[in-house]
Amino acid sequence: MKPRIGKLRHRLALEAPSRVADGGGGAVLGWTELAQLWGAVESPSGGERVGADRVAGERQAVITIRYREGLAPAMRLRSGGRVFPIRAVLDPDGRRRYLRCLCEERDL
């Protein structure tokens, strides 16, 4: 699957989790930006879920980027105020040209 280059038009920040000291001897989860990438963002489906006495929206997203070593489901992609936690990383044709990241955007 080779996307047309014009579809890779969204500027995305690749972020990895990091532990940041909270000043009281503990640590909190923070995010460190690793790189700026261009990608294609598609939203094939969405819906709502009920939890903790509230309704929250969620949308599935498939983000296609150029191949990059070390991408893992613990990471996330961000575009402005939109955050896309990565659930799976696929190399669709096995040729290390592009990666498809299956993501889930929540609390819409």
Q: What is the pLDDT of residues 25-43, one digit of tens each?
A: 889 999 999 999 999 999 8
- CATH number for the domain harbouring residue 17: 2.40.10.270
pLDDT band per the 50, 70, 90 thresholds, residue 5: low
Query: Nearest 5°: phi and psi at 72?
Result: -140, 155
How many domains are contained in the chain? 1
Question: Do residues 77 and 39 lie in contact, with contact meaning Cβ atoms separated by under 8 Å?
Answer: yes
Alpha helices in 24-99, H assignment, sequence order? none
Q: Tokens 């896309």 identify what position?
A: 84
Q: What is the pLDDT of residues 47-96, one digit of tens each?
A: 666 766 777 778 899 999 999 999 999 999 999 999 999 999 999 889 99
Q: What is the pLDDT of residue 20?
A: 85
Helix (H, G, I), strand (E, B) or coil at 45: strand
Q: What is the pLDDT of residue 7?
A: 85
Q: Which domain holds residue 52?
A: 5-106
pTM above 0.85, yes or no: no
